[in-house]
Amino acid sequence: MRSVVDMPSSGTILADVRGLVVRYGGIAAVQGVDISIRAGEAVAIVGPNGAGKTSLLSAIAGIVRPSAGSIHIGGKPLAGFALSDVVRQGVALVPEGRNIFGSLTVLENLRLGATPRLDASVAADIDRVLSDFPILGERRDQPAGQLSGGEQQMLAIARAMLSRPRLLMLDEPSLGLAPAIVDRVYDLLRGIRSQGVSVLVVEQNAARAFAFADRACVMSHGVFTLTGTPGEIGSDAAFDSAYFGVAMAENGGPV
Amino acid sequence: MIGQAIQVLVDAVSVGGLYSLTALGIGLIFGVMRLINFAHAQLITIAGYALLVLLTPSAVLAVLGAVVAAVLLALLVERTAFRPLRGADPATLLIASFAVSFFIEKVTIMLVGSRPKGVDFLPALAGQVEIAGVRLQLLQLVTIVVSVVLLVTTTWFLKSTRLGLEMRAAAENFRMAEVLGIRANRVIATAFAISGLLAAAVACLFVAQTGLVQPRMGLQLVIIAFVGTVIGGLGSLPGAAIGGFLVGVATILLQALLPPDLRVFREAFLFVAVTVVLLFRPQGLIPARGLRERV
């Protein structure tokens, strides 16, 4: 299978991934991916389960070490940072399943989101979150595990945003949520983007991601098989086969 | 009759407090590292020997020395043995923890011999006080007060300080805590330091009760307290404290209530009780959240 290289057209490059390979034991989950994300843009990575999307995000977040290739954040190599320092470079992750701290209160979850910050406006920012999301405000002192799935997703995104990231990454933000709640999640992401924060979203729900993103990459078997604007990809006849992981190499590939 | 019952109760609560503090020390480390630290026994032991060595100058100095010795040993063990193994699977950590525990125990025996040594630590506490017609040992009351104060202080630390918040987050989901920027070394070293502090407190109370130090003094406490952390729910800090307390209380109540012929088997009864609890609540009395690691 041939892979395609994602290159943004212009603008400051915030995250730059070159030739990324992620292996777990003998299995290569990501097999040579290039992607660049500019300041302020929204990028979607779609693809079937097991395509390597989560591994790619985990590598950019510093959770897994790549076997080959490089990741630069704001021009600095990620390899030089401990996991807990990646967020200090402006990269925040909302992982699949949200991973809020269920035994901690809503307020405590939010305070943890601001861990890297030393400035004095943390308390004011948390107050704003609690008033912007009345349900979180009402339940600020309750264990976050008691929130509904949609509320937990809002909390997870708000928590990530309290680190004041330059790049917000989300893994399957619509997973397991009712369509009306997914609308709210994407409305929230649009608002975040309009503040100039880059958003990288990984989705199986391609329609949602395409409606949101400036650019999209289709991932299958550890490589990008298509990149372009959501419009271009959606009308590409190869999209269905790429998305569903049909062996395109046999057919000569999509590009 | 009532007086006797109160005496047994006070005895049970004081022993429960001792096990509760020990279980909390073990539970703190398990919470943040998924490591069952059997070397906690040696933290208690070294604090005991620090008491022995420093008692001659002054009791206050001896207590301070016990705290410093246990905290330093805890930090040393974390830095040299457990930090390189961070993220290793639980079986590896368990074996390493046994190895560290045996190693320190054998070194202690090499240095000080295996025979118990008498320590006349705070003899004034051996006296009795009479409260409402019931004669109680002063030391047991002191043990209860110290246990309560330390449990309350630890709870306050975990609930109300930034570092405590980070520790609770790390205990629920270490990986996610790191993703949010929480520094692993800081949280883990703090947990070890607190476990050292708790071990020193247990050593002081235990030595005052028994009047002896010996290289294996920590082990029996740790084994029973570990049973407490399992009953309470591994990974849950309130569970550890309550489980440890219940096991201690159960030990004393079995001693008091079993017919004399059966008293030698009180540990067997204790473990039967533990088995029954785990049959009905395999996750422990207060199950921990988030024993998963995946992000």
Q: In this structure, is residue B287 part of a structural domain? A: no
Pick B168's closest partner by Cβ from A88, A97, A104: A104
For residue B49, CA distances in Å to B37, B203, B218 come to 20, 9, 11
Q: Which of A54, A83, A91, A108 to mutate to test the interface with B (most CBs of B within 10 A)?
A: A83
Local confidence band at A234 (pLDDT 50, 70, 90 cut-offs): confident
Which domain covers residue B188, as residue numbers? 2-280
Is B295 within 8 Å of A112 when comparing Cβ atoms?
Answer: no
Asked if the Cβ–Cβ distance from A99 to B180 is below 8 Å, we say: no
pLDDT value at residue A242: 58
Q: Whose CA is closest to B54, among B44, B71, B46, B66?
A: B66
- pLDDT at site A243: 60
Is A112–B172 a contact, with Cβ atoms under 8 angstroms apart?
A: no
CB atoms A83 and B172 under 8 Å: no
Instruction: Say what the pLDDT of residue A250 is.
Output: 40
Q: Name all domains of chain A by residue range, CATH numbers in brackets.
A: 13-248 (3.40.50.300)
CB contact under 8 A, B176 and A58: no
Per-residue pLDDT tens over the stretch B145-174:
999 999 999 999 999 999 999 999 998 899
**Would you state the pLDDT for residue A25?**
85
Residue B247 counted as domain residue = yes
CA–CA separation, A151 vs A157, rounded Å?
Answer: 10
Within a domain: B290 = no
pLDDT at residue number A2: 53
The nearest alpha carbon in chain B to A98 belongs to: B295
- Which residue is closest to A163 within chain B, CA to CA? B180
User: Does residue B286 lie in a domain region?
Assistant: no
**B294 part of a folded domain:** no
**CATH code of B53's domain:** 1.10.3470
Domain count within chain B: 1
**What share of chain A has pLDDT > 90, as a percent?**
74
Separation CA B175–CA B191 (nearest Å): 17
Chain B: give the shortest CA distance to residue A211, in Å. Answer: 26
pLDDT in tens, B174-186: 999 999 999 999 9
Mark yes or no for CB contact B181/A82 under 8 Å.
Answer: no
Statement: residue A248 has pLDDT above 70: no
Does residue A9 have a pLDDT over 60? Answer: no
Probe site for chain B from A54, A87, A112, A163 (most B CB atoms < 10 A):
A112
Give which of B37, B54, B25, B10 is closest to B207, Cα–Cα.
B54
Question: Taking a C-beta distance cutoff of 8 angstroms, is the pair A247, A26 a contact?
Answer: no
Residue B293 lies in a domain: no
d(CA A114, nearest CA chain B) in Å: 8
The answer to the question of residue B291 being in a domain is no
Asked if the model's pLDDT at residue A1 lies above 60, the reply is no
Contact A213, A183 (CB under 8 A): no
